[in-house]
Amino acid sequence: MAAAPAEETKKIQIYSSSSSSSARKVTPFWKEKYEKDAKKYWDLFYKRHKDKFFKDRHYFDKEWGRYFKAREGEKLVVLEVGCGAGNSIFPLLSTYQGIFIHACDFSPRAIELVKAHKDFSCDQINAFVCDITLHNLNDMIPSSSVDIVTMVFVLSAVAPEKMTLVLQNIRKVLKPNGYVLFRDYATGDLAQERLTCKEQKISENFYVRGDGTRAYYFPEDFLTSLFTENGFHALEVGVCNKQVENRSLELVMNRRWIQAVYSASLPNYSDLSTKLEEVTDDHGTSKISTEDSRVHDEIDISDSIAQMFDVLPSNDVVVEIKLRGYVFRIKGLSKEYQHTCKSTGLILWESAHLMSNLLAENPSIVAGKRVLELGCGSAGICSMVSVPFAELLVATDGDTAALDLLNQNVASNLEPSLSEKMVIKRLIWGDKEDMAVIKDLGGFDVIIGTDVTYYPEAILPLFKTARELILNRDDGEKKSVLILCYIQRRADEGSIMSAASHFGFKLVDRWANGTSLDDGIISSWFSSGAACGTEFKNTPLIILYFEA
């Protein structure tokens, strides 16, 4: 008997009280990329998991059976929005005879999985690819012809600013006396807390997962306002709590989801064969109990234990990079997982690739000089190319995970005599202690930064740090220089020029890819017929050359 309490104390309750509002947001570049590539990320999801990820949803009859049974004897038409691999469709068909289901998803691979299912029949299912934030449902479904719309963990995958478009689209095909059956994530769910800790926040209550798919966590008042403002009437709304135990990990996890029913017009409860039995509030809206787990005992959350606790295969990949006279085997993060970095230090950007080519073909840029690389990341190829020629080479980044991986890459790619010559240090721009450590090494003739200007708030600290660490030459010798290379769409050049001027940097030369080369300093780096000139011709790269 004495052993029982000890068993209980082993279990850890995972439910962070941290505020999601304090989480660092992803950069505008990645936010735009997630939106633009949303279809691709979900297509990759279904390519990887097929129809094995989600359990079939057999709880429709228990949770919402009265809405289906109220139409018995009629030809019931259902629209499943975001049908995925059909985990709702086929349980519905087996439960309710004679229904017809329109099933749409914006992943072509998901629709292929639905059509490949052994129970698929064109007589019962109309499955089609559709982005309901963009495509008109009326192109595939007649107006006012659908009795019930099911939305199960689907609206959360849509950017909040586009959710109104989804509801307006649905309303076109829903009958005036039709219903929307809704279940999705609620704020405070464990998965939201995990994503907050990983700094994968896109906007308020909106996050990106490790595989690039997105999830919004609904506050109850936001969801109700969203539907009512688009002409729907709430019949049931409530947040459900469920404590889930994972015995192998000895974890107790709190899962929260919001469940609701909306009607397209003011409800006529006499139309239901079984009237709503829950206690209603003053507005006639049924309030689902947040404490009663008996009714809602079938968990249906789209995040697996493996996803949330990183029980995943290693994401490290080795990329071979060939430069003039060099071959580097760089260990980093695969493209699929690059966006999960708290910084961009585990990503090899095109600008670093171009600049390392130029340094390999023009070692005079750094020969005999004291060189500092800002934001070198885990690859550090600009530093590794420069170290044989430089008097001193210091590679810096603010992300410790990137620096750990950089140490591995340096050890596996450079001879010991060169790796010992390369100094690797943590440097957060503008941090007095970090800058003091670097300053103790002496000033620098050349400072290089590739794709370090993508985050507008970082531009001033970047130039402040460069100003502190660059050598001041007042003896008539050639001035110390700061070289920046970046992809044009990822930087605000106006902010860069303003910050440069403020900290005493003068723009001496500018090179833009795709323009004719003149007789400037940068163009001379390409004069030897550099292979990199053609390799990057379709990438909008910019190089700026400043003197201090």
Q: Report pLDDT digits (tens) over 382-392.
A: 999 999 999 99
Determine the pLDDT at residue 68: 86
pLDDT in tens, 200-215: 889 999 998 878 889 9
Averaged pLDDT of the chain: 80
Compare 404 and 51 and report the one with higher pLDDT.
Answer: 404
Strands (E), 1-76: 12-14
List pLDDT tens digits, range 502-528.
Answer: 999 999 999 987 665 567 899 888 865
Contact 449, 461 (CB under 8 A): no
Q: Is residue 340 very low, low, confident or very high in pLDDT (cuts 50, 70, 90)?
A: very low
pLDDT (tens digit, 9 = 90+) per residue, 307-320? 444 434 444 567 77
Neighbours of 263 (CB within 10 A): 20
CATH architecture of the domain with residue range 31-308: 3-Layer(aba) Sandwich (3.40)
* CA 136 to chain centroid: 27
pLDDT digits 0-9 by tens, 73-96: 678 999 999 999 898 999 999 998
Q: How far apart are the C-alpha atoms of 19 and 512, rounded to whole Å?
A: 43
Angle (CA) 106-108-109 rounded to 5° is 120
Cα dihedral: 316, 320, 321, 322 (round 10):
170
From 101-105, 129-133, 473-477, the region with the lowest mean pLDDT: 473-477
> One fold for both 31-308 and 316-547?
yes
% pLDDT > 90, the chain: 46
Q: Which amino acid is at 533?
A: G
Both tokens assigned to 213: 């798919």
Return d(Cα 449, Cα 545) in angstroms, integer: 11
Q: Each residue of 63-92: b (16+ CB within 10 Å) or e?
A: bbeebbebbeeeebbbbbbbbbbbbbbbbb
C-alpha 482/C-alpha 504 separation (Å) is: 11
Q: Give the Å distances, CA to CA, from 188 to 151, 181, 223, 278, 356.
A: 20, 22, 15, 24, 45
| Residue (of 538, 524, 357, 377) closest to 449 by Cα position | 377
Residue 77 confidence (pLDDT): 95
* Averaged pLDDT, 376-383: 90
**15/482 Cα distance (integer angstroms):** 47
Q: Which of 365-369, 399-403, 487-491 has the highest average model confidence (pLDDT)?
A: 365-369
Check residue 306 and give its pLDDT. 43
Q: Where are the domains of the chain?
A: 31-308, 316-547
CB-count exposure of residue 541 (10 Å: 0-12, 13-18, 19+): buried
Judge contact between 239 and 257, C-beta under 8 A.
yes
Average pLDDT over residues 410-417: 91
The CATH code belonging to domain 316-547 is: 3.40.50.150
More confident residue, 167 or 319: 167
Strand partners, 101: 78, 125
